[in-house]
Amino acid sequence: MSKNKKCKNIGTDGAKICSVGGQALMEGIMMLGPHGMAQVVRDPKGELVIKQSEITLLTKRYKILGLPLIRGSVTLVDSMRRGMKALFDSAEIAATEEDPDYKPSKFDSWVERKLGDKAMSVLMTISMIIAVAFSVGLFMLLPNLVASLCIPASAPRILYNLCEGIIRMAIFMGYMIIIANMKDIRRVYMYHGAEHKTIHCFEHEDELTVENVRKYSKHHPRCGTAFLFVVMIISILIYSIIPRFPNILINIGIRILLLPVIAGVSYEFNRFAGSHNNTLTKILRAPGMAMQHFTTKEPDDDMIEVAIVALKEALKFEEKYEKMPDYSAAACENSQ
């Protein structure tokens, strides 16, 4: 089998790191590489709807945005924008077939009339702003507020920061456990597992078939969702060195201003831990890997099929820049 020049060795088992990653959608998967994106969603009729687009990442388009610590925040925002759009698209495709008697609400009609073709873009932007505000409020500001109310101002700073960190982790883990038990989210997590297993199969240079993909782990060391767990830990460490001010609004303001720093440090941590395979990085990755018990589920064969198609479509863009390996059955037989 031809070797993947876009990957490099990370361990004695011959596993590779590849530049293509993915995101689970509603009844589908998006695979994203340095040069292109492929989105595959199964519609209510069971057919696969494929959308592809060539891209240039912001960190590649503008060199300054690709610098260490800066690229973390840029990548996070860019990923959220692409991910939100893909989720909107997948939800629309995966929705049940339209009722012939269905009539749009007055609000839907007003939005369509006022915004026209820009309606989806505007709604997506609003949704992303609300999602960011909700996340920051729930996981960053609420723990600080609770800690400020529970810990007296005269208490040692370390006690205050420790209390805030424990509350933040408790809220985060509780949130992840609760949504993992929701029916619709569970299916998304199954697609998440399919994405991981397929990437594993590709990185081990196995032929991309349902049978081969099925045998791999649903946990992956470079999981994007695990990045959120790293953000929690890094935020605790960074906030622990920040003095506590009498005015709670100042404390909250400082935490908001430090979010880009936290995102930047977390990204570099994930980048390092995910690109090395030794005892130290295994220890560093352990919390994120453990969290995948909640954020990934074992997929069925139909989901694996979607993941394989999405990965193959995304790899087509990379072939324009550097030859990728041939994972066809014939190539695998000839290599033996």
The pLDDT tens digits along the chain (336 residues) read 334 444 444 443 445 666 788 899 999 999 998 888 999 999 888 899 999 988 888 888 888 988 888 898 888 888 888 888 888 888 888 775 544 555 555 666 665 666 666 666 677 778 778 888 888 888 888 998 899 888 888 888 888 888 988 999 899 888 888 888 888 889 999 999 999 999 999 988 899 999 999 999 999 888 877 777 788 888 888 888 888 888 888 888 888 899 899 989 988 888 887 777 778 778 878 888 888 888 899 999 999 999 999 999 999 888 776 654 444 333 333 333
Q: Which residue has the tokens 């990085």?
A: 281
β-pairing verdict for 28-32 and 21-25: antiparallel
Quote the pTM value. 0.78
3-state secondary structure of 262: helix
Nearest residue to 145 (alpha-carbon basis) of 129, 130, 167: 167
The set of residues, in sequence order, having a beta carbon less than 8 Å from that of 324 and lying 6+ positions away, is 4, 6, 315, 318
Report yes or no: 301 and 214 within 8 Å, Cβ to Cβ.
yes
Could you give the residue ranges of the DSSP H alpha helices within the chain?
Answer: 58-61, 70-94, 106-115, 119-136, 142-150, 157-180, 183-203, 210-214, 226-239, 248-257, 259-274, 279-295, 301-318, 329-335
